[in-house]
Each structure stands twice: as structure tokens, then as C-alpha cells.
Structure 1
């Protein structure tokens, strides 16, 4: 690390959450450094990014480089596969019901990280190193050092270094952690029938099975099951695995083939007890870890990023201390309700599938029945779930009234989109 000047912002962590935070802060007029290893390109997963996240990518000038590699999500289909005695009807959320062409886009993680990394050059100070080894408070700033003893200084440190964040540990922020009796299998596959931009969530007793549309006859799978069953599925050859998946999907996508190498990981959850302390604020998995259900994780991280930029830029404009307690409190107040609500909802939905408590299945079934039969309720849920307004920073606001993603149904064209996810 180099330089004796004090940065406004030092982001520790150079994954998607850290890079989008750095670019958002730089775009807001803050002198910013992002510290971490060079981005990797081996992540075969994808992320479903909803309207506000796409608008943030537009605001920092990244979206035109990603749009052709991403697939629009025009609908979300929920199927009750729990096998309970009260089978809930299928629910289909269509973006057209809320006047837009797509809820968001399914974006390849490797492409997202690569483009964010490339865009950071010339816009901020990108410090390539294995990570920060030492944090030293110095009154109105923090000095950060790598293993070679190089130093950088900043008024505010943003912890974007994951669930085991060293920056969070330096700040003295505790976390609540829990686990689930589940593992998730992820892979990409080809299929015979078109997905038509519809993401399918099959709610099963062992956990959800989600198929998200990708480009050119490809879809992306997140299959949650018991650890023993996940291990069995991983051991199958591609033909047997495809047959097992097709059985779950009831042939919805026709013949399945071309599976990418399957990966598996245990599910867990984690939340920080506070989001800011001792000149450090938390974003991404340093602040919250939730199961891969409803595509909430990275979208939460993008809202963290835009909020840090907005709050810190406001403090600088007002002549306030960017890393002071008042700034940290504003960030906490801006993000706590959104994070707590999403974590609670995802945890409740997941536990409602595998729990044996009496009445839980009935409540779920009645809720899905209400969604299936009430267009007004579906619209309300879609607006809150995919286009939250109360927690939306200015950088994530649609560029024009009535537009969220893609082409609005009133005919207004959105920059850089070619809708066909």
C-alpha cells in the first residue's frame, strides 16, 4: 500500500460487494481505495439482481458491459412441492403486473466481478494485496497495513471482507450465527424446452429447489436438501443427476444435459449486532449471511453499498466527520430495518419448509392460495420484494419515472437493455 494522504473511504475486500461499494463511493465524490486480492474468474455461479441493483450498475457505468452476458427475469413461479395434505396452488409473479418487462437480470458472478474490477481502474485506488493484516486507530482516521508493512489511511473503513471479516473483528462488532440442517448444490445446465425468462422455485420439505433462467437455453440451479441427500446427489453421474432433477421438475424443461461441475455448501445464517463502530461500517456478508432463497443476499449488499456512499458523501458535504459516530448511526438507521426484515423473512420461509410444527404448513398453504387468487396482493408483494422504496438509496432509483428494469410497458426505453430471465 502506498501514499501518505488520508482517503475518505477504504474498502477492505475486493469481491462484488467491495468493488460496487468502492465504485459507488468514488461516483459520489469520495476519495476511495479498495484493498484486496485480484478478482478471480472461476466462480461459476450467477446472481439474480433486481431492479435497484441494475440501476446502481447503471449509475456507476458498469451495466453496458454486463447486459449482453445476462438474462432478464420476467417472472417468478412458486410451486408447492412440500407434499403436505393441503397442496397450495402454483403462484406466478409476472413483471408485467407491475408495469415493467423484467424484475431484474441473472448475472454471471465471474463476469460481474471482472467488469467491476476493470471499471475500478482510474476511478479509485485499487490496492492489490492478500489483505489487511493490521488496523491501527489514529484519532480521526485508521491506518491499515498489509503483510509487507505498506500503509494506507482512511477516515472511514468499509468492511466488505466476508462472513469472517477481520475489519469487523477490529471494530469489536459481535455477530449472531446459526446453522440449518441443509446443504445447497449449485450447477448450470442446458435444457430442451425454453425457460421463457421464468425463474422457478419449488418449495420442498427438505428445502427449496430453484432454477433461474440464463442465456441461450441454459439455466442455473440451486438445490437445497439434507446434507446426506446432497452428498448422494453429488456422487451421481450427470445422467443420473439429470434424471433426479427432471423428476423434481416434472419434466418442466424437457431433457436436461450439459451440467457444469456440481458444487455443494452447508447453509448457515449470520447477522452483525451493529452495522457500524469505531470508524468501521459493514456491508455484504460482513453484515449479513442468509440462505440462497429469494435472491436477497447480493441485492442487500448492493443496497448497503449505495447507502454507504450516500451517507458518507452527505457527511463530507456537511463538513461532518465521515467516520464519526453520527455518520455510523445514520448508516445503521438507514440499513437496519431492511436487513432485519429480509433476514427474518428468508429464515422463516426456509424453516417453514422443514419444520414439523403443527399448523406451519397450513399457514404457508393459505398464504400461497391468497397470492394465487389476489392480483392486488401479488402486486403489493412484488413491489416490496423486488422494488423496495423505503430502503432505496438515490443511486438505486430508476433513471426515469415508472421504469425499473428493461423496457417499461408504457414504452420508455431503458439504457443498454435488449430484452428478450
Structure 2
């Protein structure tokens, strides 16, 4: 038995427990695929242990076939994890694994040392057709058909596999299959990530290194057979992939926490904390570039009556509708924030003249020109608006906001001044 595999088994078992624990907290479809993939790697290591301890024989060949198959299935699982699907993951996983049956049969035949090309070429053709069906059939990326170059890449990958079967060896074809699959896993991991963070880039490069292990290890064994590398060297990339995945999850959780801390959960707008940050940054830029900025404070009139008449759910829907209308009324570089309750604020930076302030002010007022539909009722809503500008009304953010807030309060109907 190859006892050097025992540390790998223990380390991978620990990683599976870590990913399973993370899955209980996040319930991501992608993370479910990751857990399945690492479980397959664990089975791969167990099969290696069994194969190395049995020597030669049918059971050893079966263990070798299982070990190779788990490597292939792991790559397919990780490829599918990067497709960002919105469907039931069990159904998608079963379809994916079903499409890999020809490739699995290819690996099993190789493990039993079958050498007839009459077996491997049809399996290669079936593997290509099933993979094309899997992708072309809209089973990836939220039912969108993939671009033609992706289908062409699948065709090229299996064409190379067939050429290796014909003109090289089945072993070379196996190495190519594993290399191309893990390289595809690197691509899909990067492609499926919402942004290219450090964790995403690190994991992508680790997947590429994992793919490179298969041809590099074979080339070194052929060119320098006297040079021996421990298992830890070849196993390092897969542990780097696992580390990168955990780091990517950590980045995402931190990003979500930061977004939640700086945005209003009801409307999705920046909250008071984000507003202060952007207001300070806009003032600093205005001083450096000698340009104007304006701040508007808006408070809805009669909002309490809407809550009393239609309920708080309708009041929330009203705030969301107002937020959308105001967002459409401002420029892309402006900031609309919900300051709390029914109060909003807008930062208008980079203003060339006071005329632009008047123009944008009219757009904000126009956002309330039409009634808002709430549960079959049309509600006319108005807002009291106050404004202050830099440098005309002051140079301090707190002072400018106080001026705008006071102007808003002065314009507010007496019935709403509570």
C-alpha cells in the first residue's frame, strides 16, 4: 500500500468537512457542486490506496478505473459549477454526469489495458456528441446557447483526442483529456465569477496548474525517469484550488457585508454612511477642480397617511417606486441615497453652472408628476425639496446638508411638520 497517500486522504477529508460546513451556511448551488467535486477527489484517493495495496488483478484494475474516473468527474463537476445556473442542481448534475458516460467508458477501457482503436474512436465520437448536446442544448449559463467558438473548442478537444488514439497512445489521450478538462474548469471558474478578485484569479491559475500537472508529470517521467518527485509536489495545485475557493467565498461574504453596511435594504440605494463618504469625496474633487456641486434633500409629503390608509407594505412599495423614479431622473455620476424613513438626498457633482442645477432640479420635481400605482390604487405623491450648493452656500459638508435640510423643512406643508 502507498502510505504516502494517507496524508492526502486526511487533508482532503478535512477540506470536504470545511466545504460541507460552508454549504450549510450559504446554500449556494455552486458550492454544492464544489462539495461533490471534492468528495470525488476523496474517492479518487481511496481508490488509489486500494489499487496500490492490491498489486495486479481485476479488483486493482477496477480501483484504478474508479480513480481515473473520479478525476474526470471532478473536472466536469467544477466546470458545471462555473455555469451559474438557476435550476435545480441535482437535475443538472445528473444530466451532466450522464453526458460523461462515453468519457468514463474510455477511462475504464484504458484502466483495463484494452488497446483496440475500434473501441476508443467510437467512444471519442460519442463523448464529443454528448458534450455538444450538453452545451448546445441550453443546459449551461441560465439556458442561453453558448457562442460558436465554445462548441468549436469542444470539437477541437475531441479531435485531438482521436488523433492521439490513432497516432500516439491511449495513455496520451487520457493525459490530454484530463489536461483539457481541468483547463476548461479554470476557464469556467473565471467566467462564472462576478468579478476578477484576487481569490478568483488565484483559483483560476491554480486550476491551470492542476491541468498542467498531467502532461508535465508524464513528460518528466519520460525525459528524466531518474528524477523522482513526491506526491506532495503533484498534489499541491489541487490544494491551492481548494484554498482559492475558500478565499473566494471569504471575499464574496466580505463584499456582501460591506454592501449591506453601505446600502438601504429596502430600496437598494446608498444609505446615510455611503452618502457621507461620497459627499466628502465630491467636495474634495470640487475644490481641486474649481467646479460646483449641489445637494438636494427630499422628504415625501403625506407618507404617513399612505401608511395609515394602505398599510406598511404599501408604504414600502411606495418608497421603492419613488427610488426608481428618482434614479431615472439623475445622471450616472450623481448619488441618490435614502437617508431614513421617507427622506432622500441627492449629490450632483461636477456642475459647470447654476443653470445645470435648475435643470436637474426640474427633473427631480418631475419624478412626482405622475401618480404611483399601489394595490390597484393610484396615489398622488409630492415631495418637499431643499437645496444647497458649493461654493455659494458653504464649503463644509455638514453645513451644506443642514442648509438643504432646513430649506426642505421650510417648504414642507404644515400638516407634515411633526
Normalised to the residue count of structure 2, the TM-score between the two structures is: 0.23
Structure with bigger RCO (C-alpha 8 Å, 6+ apart):
1
Question: Which structure has the greater CA radius of gyration?
Answer: 2
More strand by share: 1
More helix by share: 2
Normalised to the residue count of structure 1, the TM-score between the two structures is: 0.23
